[in-house]
Amino acid sequence: MNNRWNEIIYKCWSPVYDKLFNSRKFLEARKLIFQEKKFIKNQSILFVGVGTGADLELINHRDLNITGIDYSNEMLEKAKIKFKSSSIQFLKMDTQDMSFKDNHFDVVIGSLVLSVIPNADKCIKEIVRVLKPNGEIIIFDKFSPKGKELSPLKKAVRPLFKLLGTDIGMNFETLYEKNKEALSIKEDTPLMFNGMYRKIVISKTNT
């Protein structure tokens, strides 16, 4: 996967994205992620890989300072149309190389983004950089099983899924191990497909 290929793939995905990933089980999972989250008025919140704005539809965004970034113009345009009357700022930006200042956001949210970008480790490091000390990261994504190898079938089809714009074999524990000095896991909850999709909440240590 690379940024140019992802631009092409998600240009193709954009017309049907909400029908596939913002309905039924995916919609139920998204609702579970946000139903217990209480945002504080005027918090500065970043949605990385905001896509069509599926997550934004599930929160009261009016009293929050929200920025949504994505690398796909087509996905961003759909989000802009949905929220044309809001104050949400939508920007085309690479999640692996963000232009925001250090320690800028109170909360960073990434739904189905780590598994689709070329380098998830770079993305995590950028999220940590732009997040304020004691800030919170909320992740919803698919990961390989904890402490287990991928099944032979998944290993065989993994290259095909990458061509389609996503990785079914990313391991969160490996990703966390590379960045654990700056992070602390607060929650790790399986949501879909026998724990393949998880909600993970992480706080940035006060450094």
Beta strands in the chain, from DSSP E residues, in sequence order = 44-48, 65-70, 89-92, 105-111, 131-142, 183-192, 197-204
Q: Between the CA of residue 207 and those of 108, 127, 128, 135, 191, what are the distances in Å?
A: 17, 14, 11, 11, 31
CATH number of 3-204: 3.40.50.150
Digit-coded pLDDT (tens) for 52-70: 999 999 999 989 999 999 9
What pLDDT shows up at residue 178? 93
**pLDDT class for 36, splitting at 50, 70, 90?**
confident
Per-residue pLDDT tens digits for 161-182:
888 888 989 999 999 999 999 9
Q: Find all residues with CB under 8 Å of 22, minimum gap 6, and list them.
A: 30, 52, 54, 57
Q: Residues 6 or more apart from 24 whose CB is under 8 A from it?
A: none
CA–CA gap between residue 28 and residue 34 (Å, rounded): 10
Query: Domain boundaries in the chain?
Result: 3-204
Tell which residue, 197, 82, 88, 206, has the closest CA to residue 142.
Answer: 197
User: Whole-angstrom Cα distance, residue 131 to residue 101?
Assistant: 9
Band (pLDDT 50/70/90 cuts) for residue 23 is: confident
